[in-house]
């Protein structure tokens, strides 16, 4: 019983951390989208838009899943900054630094998703696991592509 409560609490916290991660990444990706410049402008400007559009979908999906399983999604910038381990854009990054930072951010998000998936599976919460697995699969694909860009 206590294990169940602990896992449910852990899962709610993990979903909230993901809500915070994707909210922060949405803002960060807009920053990159607006401030990227140079020869790769058109490529990266479009890629960052694709990624912030995806981020917005995840925020809503994660928050609504959290509500569906009795949680309370974080919903303020203050909460997002407190909950996420990620850092906002520093400003002045070169295009390569933007992409390299996203590779690092996606690696952290993927690791956090891995634990969240385990927590969901331990609770036999397949719909939450499915949502998280879908996000992780996409994050890893983006990480591969961003790494290929940097190579
Ligand atoms: Fe735009």
pLDDT digits (tens, 9 = 90+) for 92-142: 999 999 999 999 999 999 999 999 999 999 999 999 999 999 999 999 999
Tell me, what's the pLDDT at 4? 63
The Cα–Cα gap between 59 and 42 comes to 26
pLDDT on residue 5: 63
Centre of ligand 1 to C-alpha 37, Å, is 14
92 Cβ contact list (under 8 Å, min separation 6): none
Query: Residue 76 C-alpha to ligand 1 middle, in angstroms?
Result: 23
Residue 66, number of CB atoms within 10 A of its CB: 21
**How many A from CA of 25 to the centre of ligand 1?**
15
Give residue 33 CA to ligand 1 midpoint distance, Å: 7
Asked if 62 and 131 count as a contact pair (C-beta separation under 8 A), the reply is yes
Instruction: Report how far ligand 1's centroid is from the alpha carbon of 7 (Å).
Output: 40
Domains, the chain, in order of start with CATH, read 2-150 (1.20.1260.10)
Q: Where are the alpha helices (DSSP H) in 1-151?
A: 2-35, 41-68, 77-83, 95-122, 126-150
pLDDT tens digits along 43-98: 999 999 999 999 999 999 999 999 999 999 999 999 999 999 999 999 999 999 99
Which pLDDT band, with edges at 50, 70 and 90, does 3 fall under? low
Q: How far is the CA of 50 from the centre of ligand 1 (A)?
A: 10
Give the distance, in angstroms, between the CA of residue 147 and the centroid of all CA atoms in the same chain.
17
Instruction: Report how far ligand 1's centroid is from the alpha carbon of 127 (Å).
Output: 32
Tell me the CA–centroid distance for residue 43 and ligand 1, in Å.
13
């Amino acid at each position: 019983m206590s294990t169940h409560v602990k896992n449910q609490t852990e899962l709610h916290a993990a979903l909230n951390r993901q809500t915070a991660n994707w909210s922060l990444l949405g803002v960060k990706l807009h920053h990159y989208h607006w401030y990227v410049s140079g020869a790769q402008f058109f490529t990266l400007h479009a890629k960052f838009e694709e990624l912030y559009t995806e981020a917005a979908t995840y925020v809503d999906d994660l928050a609504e899943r959290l509500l569906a399983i009795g949680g309370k999604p974080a919903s303020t910038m203050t909460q997002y900054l407190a909950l996420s381990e990620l850092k906002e854009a520093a400003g002045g990054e070169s295009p390569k630094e933007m992409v390299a930072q996203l590779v690092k951010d996606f690696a952290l998000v993927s690791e956090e998703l891995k634990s969240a998936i385990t927590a969901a599976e331990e609770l036999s919460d397949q719909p939450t696991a499915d949502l998280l697995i879908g996000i992780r699969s996409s994050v890893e694909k983006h990480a591969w592509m961003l790494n290929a860009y940097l190579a």
